[in-house]
Structure 1
């Protein structure tokens, strides 16, 4: 059963606003975000109901790039829009007809509150993980701020916020329960990380000869970022190859990006290089 939210962000005082002073704005549209690999997408599809919805209704398997290109822009415009002008309800409405039957006969619907919130939770955790791993170690206050801003973000979708944890500490408990008790190695998630061991398929538009030159460099890097960027529980469930040596290399790689010289240089690059176009437009409008 689906539920629509009865409250608007402006009517509630348990959240923090989005905008140019928010940490969600600061980190979500950063171009360094590619360093975390496909972490949120894979984790989303490890919720059985969500993975089944993608399997039944999406072009994910036939044209992965097209799905990403269609899905992400309106989410960015939800975050970087204003309270009165954003794409939140449009994102919600994309999911109205995504429903069907699980293999055991149980019904699923993308707008089921628990299912829809899990998809959002992976984006919230994406911001937290990215910033803390590749930008700077976040303080407890910064983590709480990001989480409270994410509550405003979620309410822009106009769906029930019943499953949404109250505080960052509650969100951590929710996240741990999902990782340890709920998520599964759904075939959609397995497909999404298949290139870790099989190699990435040649993208459309790339000449076969060019891909022969690029692939030997690209595939190991993609596998490193994807596997290293997954939570250990998910890595184990999906049987992704990893080792202590690779973990040490990944942590050294992350520490390099967090280092003061790298951040000093990054902060002095033009905004057009540091942020995607949706973030740039949001800052310009604000």
Structure 2
């Protein structure tokens, strides 16, 4: 018997979505920026990893790990999942300061079903968002199949299926309620870090016009509520430019050879981590996550 993995090529919508390199190169930044809107998720992640001093190394490691589950054999995925489970055992603590609707002392855990669902949700929304922007719109049946794949993905990491919306329609209704709720809150540290993750990724040649295009694509992909909470302006002129850039990227993707348009982004992730390491060695770190309470109210309001 062959080991086709948990998401076999040709049968899994999740695999089809994440094999698109334009998805793989963008979804993680967006997911982390949105994920930071839950203070328990943000603080739990930062307090329990090396992500505070090297946030892009953490992003790169996480994206590569997800590719192992997306594309690897079951044996490869199972080994990775065992390591992640051991790491998640350490993600258990309390918020050190008041964070919007969550008072200091609020408990967080990597095994909290609500937080597990939130983590899967920001990935699911981001993966679908970029696929439909750069490749094509999915049919209703495909969206349902994709959500069921994301439910399975979450379950592999220990998310109880009973805690996740049962259908795609249920997921969308839950997602809209969650984004609109007063439980969405950015601490000053989360606002600083989320913006840096979305708009300061260390990539070669990511400056000038290329950086402006990247930032515009990322900004336009965010839900309006998320832009509002981050204080990110979005004018009609930006929206017009964004639509033109997305259309050009979609056209370019259609013209690109399959080996360029589809496949693993692991080399890109490794490059991001390598550039961050070099900057750290040279005393030019990429934005680092401040400790809780480290940012002044003035900086937070910027």
TM-score, normalized by length of structure 2? 0.73
How far is the alpha carbon of 1:169 from its aligned partner? 0.3
Question: Which moved further from structure 2: 223-232 or 243-252?
Answer: 223-232
3-state SS of 2:137 partner: coil
Residue number in structure 2 paired with 1:55: 46
Q: Within 1, Cα distance between the matches of 2:188 and 2:135?
A: 32
Contiguous gaps of at least 5 residues in structure 2? 1-5, 98-102, 268-302
1:88 matched to 2:77: no
Q: Across the two proteins, how many residue pairs are aligned to each other?
A: 250
Q: Please, which of 225, 244, 247 is the counterpart of residue 252 of structure 1? A: 244
Residue number in structure 1 paired with 2:36: 45
1:191 matched to 2:192: yes
User: Using a 3 Å threshold, how does the CA distance of structure 1 residues 73 and 58 change in structure 2: closer, same or farther?
Assistant: same
User: Using a 3 Å threshold, how does the CA distance of structure 1 residues 23 and 101 change in structure 2: closer, same or farther?
Assistant: same
1:233 matched to 2:233: no
Residue number in structure 1 paired with 2:259: 270
1:26 matched to 2:26: no
User: Using a 3 Å threshold, how does the CA distance of structure 1 residues 176 and 277 change in structure 2: closer, same or farther?
Assistant: closer
Contiguous gaps of at least 5 residues in structure 1? 1-16, 280-286
Question: Which moved further from structure 2: 30-39 or 98-107?
Answer: 30-39
Contact 1:110–1:116, Cα closer than 8 Å, also in 2: yes
Contact 1:100–1:107, Cα closer than 8 Å, also in 2: yes
Give structure 1 regions of 4+ aligned residues with deviation exceeding 6 angstroms: none
How far is the alpha carbon of 1:277 from its aligned partner? 5.8
How far is the alpha carbon of 1:193 from its aligned partner? 4.0
1:101 matched to 2:94: yes
Q: Within 2, Cα distance between the matches of 1:123 and 1:238?
A: 19
How far is the alpha carbon of 1:265 from its aligned partner? 1.6
User: Using a 3 Å threshold, how does the CA distance of structure 1 residues 81 and 232 change in structure 2: closer, same or farther?
Assistant: same
User: Using a 3 Å threshold, how does the CA distance of structure 1 residues 224 and 263 change in structure 2: closer, same or farther?
Assistant: closer
3-state SS of 1:150 partner: helix
Contact 1:101–1:107, Cα closer than 8 Å, also in 2: yes
RMSD (CA atoms): 2.8
How far is the alpha carbon of 1:166 from its aligned partner? 0.3
3-state SS of 2:50 partner: coil
User: Using a 3 Å threshold, how does the CA distance of structure 1 residues 220 and 129 change in structure 2: closer, same or farther?
Assistant: same
How far is the alpha carbon of 1:196 from its aligned partner? 9.3
User: Using a 3 Å threshold, how does the CA distance of structure 1 residues 56 and 196 change in structure 2: closer, same or farther?
Assistant: closer
Residue number in structure 2 paired with 1:12: none
User: Using a 3 Å threshold, how does the CA distance of structure 1 residues 277 and 249 change in structure 2: closer, same or farther?
Assistant: closer
Q: Within 1, Cα distance between the matches of 2:76 and 2:53?
A: 33
Contact 2:20–2:131, Cα closer than 8 Å, also in 1: no
3-state SS of 1:100 partner: strand
1:64 matched to 2:33: no
How far is the alpha carbon of 1:183 from its aligned partner? 1.9
Contact 1:196–1:226, Cα closer than 8 Å, also in 2: no
How far is the alpha carbon of 1:73 from its aligned partner? 1.6
User: Using a 3 Å threshold, how does the CA distance of structure 1 residues 242 and 148 change in structure 2: closer, same or farther?
Assistant: same
